[in-house]
Amino acid sequence: MSQDFTDTIFGDDTKRRPAARSRREIHGRRRPRKRKTGRRLLVLLVAVVLVGGAGYGAYSVLGPIVGGLVGGSDSGDVDYAGPGTGEVRITVDPGQTGEDIATTLRDAGVTKTRTAYIEAARADPQAAAAVQPGTYALRKEMTGAGAFAILTDPANRRTDRVTVREGLWTSETFQALSDGTGVSVKQYEKAAEDAEAIGLPRAADGDVTGWLFPASYEFDKDTSAKDQLAQMVSQTKKTLRDADVPEKDWQRTLTIASIVEGEARGDADRGKVARVVENRLDDPNGPTAGYLQMDSTVNFALQKRGNLTKTEYDSAKTDPYDTYGSPGLPPGPIGNPGQAAIDAAADPTPGGWFFFVTVNLDTGETLFADTYEEQQRNQAKLNQWCDDNPGKCTG
C-alpha cells in the first residue's frame, strides 16, 4: 500500500500499531486518540506553513538562476519606457552576434536588459542580421525597440569610408586618407614615426612605405591616425601570411610587389613581371647585368608621376632607388602593393623572360621577351604605336 502525503512527512503510524486490539484497549484509548488526532491536525497545519515557506525560500534562491537561464543576468522589468536622454556611442564590431550587441547596449546603459534588445531583434530577424559594423549614436535608457531601430538604419552609422588605391606612394596614401577622414596629413606623418605603435616590423627600418595596405576602409570618426595606420599594417601582414611568405622575406616580397604594382598593366602580367625581376636578380651576368632597370623606381626616386625626359632620368642616377643606376633591389618598397601584386611576388609565373615592354598604352598590351634581340623587335612595335598616336608617348 502506498503512503499518503502525511505519511511521507510524519512517518507511517500503521507500522507502530499492533495488528489487533481488544475492545478494552480500544475503549480505553478513545480520548487519547482524539487528542492525537488534534495534534496531527496541528502538526499538519505547521507542515503546510513550512512547506510554503520552503517553497518561497527555494524561489528566492532559484529565481535569479532560472531568470539567468532564460534571459541572462537581467532581472525585474526588462525594458525602459523610453525614449531616453543624452547621447552614448556604441560600436558594433565585425563578427558580433545579436547577443553580443545586446550585452553592449545593456552595459552602456542604453537598454535596461539584454532581453529588451533581443526581443526586438527576434521580431525582425532579417533586419537584425543586416546590422553593419560601425559606431552609432544612441541615448541612455532607451527601449529595446528604439535601439534596434537605430542600429538597423544604415544612415545612422557614423563612419568615414576611404579608398586607398594600389601602388600609391606614402605621401599620396596620407593625402587619400586625409581627404576621406578629415584627419590632417601631418597627423598621419607623426603617427608613422612611431613604428612600434603601428606594428611596423623591424625589417621595415621605420619606413611605412609598402606596409599601408590599399583597400576600402570604414574608420569610426574617433579613430586616430595611429590606429588607422596600425589597421593597414595589420592587413598587410595578414596578406603576406595568406600568401605563405615567411616573415624573414616580408620586406623583400613587398619590395618586389611594389615594383610589380608600378610596372604591370594587367592582371595577367603581374606574375610575369615578378618573374622578370627575379630573373634579373638571379643572373648578375645576364642581359641586364643584375640591374632591374625599372622606370617605376625612377619615378619614385624623383617623386614624379608619368613619363620622364632623358634629363630627368640622368638626374636620378645617384639615387639608390634608381634601378638603372644601382644594381639589385632598391633599399625598400617604392609604393604600397595590393593583394594581387603580393601574390605575384610570392609566386612568380614560371618563365625565362628578361624583358617586357608595353606596346599599346591605351590597352596596356605588354609583350615579354627572353632575349635582347626579341625585346628590340617588341620595342619597334611600341615606336610604331607612338608614331601613330602623337603626343601619347612623351611626358
Does residue 299 share a domain with residue 383?
yes
Does residue 109 share a domain with residue 51?
no
Q: What CATH number is given to the structural domain containing 117?
A: 3.30.1490.480
Out of 16, 39, 57, a domain closes at: 57
Does residue 366 share a domain with residue 294?
yes
Does residue 104 share a domain with residue 22?
no
Angstrom distance (rounded) from CA 364 to CA 377: 17
Does residue 271 share a domain with residue 377?
yes
124 neighbors 144 (Cβ within 8 angstroms): no
Count Cβ atoms below 10 Å from residue 257 Cβ, excluding itself: 34
> And the C-alpha cell for 146?
528604439
Does residue 167 share a domain with residue 150?
no
- pLDDT digits over 106-161, tens only? 999 999 999 999 999 999 999 999 998 878 889 999 999 999 999 999 888 876 67
Distances (CA, A) of 272 to 264, 278, 347: 9, 10, 10
Question: Which residue matches cell numbers 595578414?
Answer: 238
pLDDT on residue 42: 44
Angstrom distance (rounded) from CA 158 to CA 84: 20
With respect to residue 73, please indicate whether it lies within any of the assigned structural domains: no
pLDDT on residue 207: 97
Angstrom distance (rounded) from CA 199 to CA 211: 10
The mean pLDDT of 293-307, rounded to a whole number, is 94
Does residue 306 share a domain with residue 376?
yes
Does residue 32 share a domain with residue 19?
yes
Does residue 383 share a domain with residue 268?
yes
- Whether 89 shows a pLDDT value over 90: the answer reads no
3-state SS, the chain, equals CCCCHHHHHHCCHHHHCCCCCCHHHHHHCHHHHHHHHHHHHHHHHHHHHHHHHHHHHHHHHHHHHHHHHHHCCCCCCCCCCCCCEEEEEEEECCCCCHHHHHHHHHHCCCCCCHHHHHHHHHHCHHHHHCCCCEEEEEEECCCHHHHHHHHCCHHHECEEEEECCCCCCHHHHHHHHHHHHCCCHHHHHHHHCCCCCCCCCHHHCCCCCCCCCCCEEEEECCCCHHHHHHHHHHHHHHHHHHCCCCHHHHHHHHHHHHHHHHHCCCHHHHHHHHHHHHHHHHCCCCCCCCCCCCHHHHHHHHCCCCCCCHHHHHHCCCCCCCCCCCCCCCCCCCCCCCHHHHHHHHCCCCCCCCEEEEEECCCCEEEEECCHHHHHHHHHHHHHHHHHCCCCCCC
With respect to residue 74, please indicate whether it lies within any of the assigned structural domains: no
Does residue 291 share a domain with residue 322?
yes
- pLDDT digits over 210-238, tens only? 999 999 888 877 789 999 999 999 999 99
Q: Total structural domains in the chain?
A: 4
305 neighbors 335 (Cβ within 8 angstroms): no
With respect to residue 70, please indicate whether it lies within any of the assigned structural domains: no
With respect to residue 378, please indicate whether it lies within any of the assigned structural domains: yes
Taken in order 227, 160, 339, 330, the sign of the CA dihedral is negative
With respect to residue 44, please indicate whether it lies within any of the assigned structural domains: yes
φ and ψ at residue 125, rounded to 5 degrees = -60, -30
257 neighbors 290 (Cβ within 8 angstroms): no
Angstrom distance (rounded) from CA 35 to CA 40: 9
> And the C-alpha cell for 127?
533586419
φ and ψ at residue 89, rounded to 5 degrees = -100, 135
**Per-residue confidence band for 39, with pLDDT thresholds at 50, 70 and 90:** low
With respect to residue 64, please indicate whether it lies within any of the assigned structural domains: no
For the entire predicted model, the pTM comes to 0.64
Q: Rg of the chain over CA atoms, in angstroms?
A: 39
Does residue 205 share a domain with residue 300?
no
Angstrom distance (rounded) from CA 18 to CA 161: 93
pLDDT on residue 161: 79
pLDDT on residue 369: 97
Angstrom distance (rounded) from CA 131 to CA 343: 33
Does residue 145 share a domain with residue 171?
no
With respect to residue 68, please indicate whether it lies within any of the assigned structural domains: no
The residue range of the domain holding 332 is 264-388
> And the C-alpha cell for 155?
544612415
- Whether 13 shows a pLDDT value over 60: the answer reads no
Residue type, 291: Y
With respect to residue 69, please indicate whether it lies within any of the assigned structural domains: no
- pLDDT digits over 45-56, tens only? 444 444 444 443
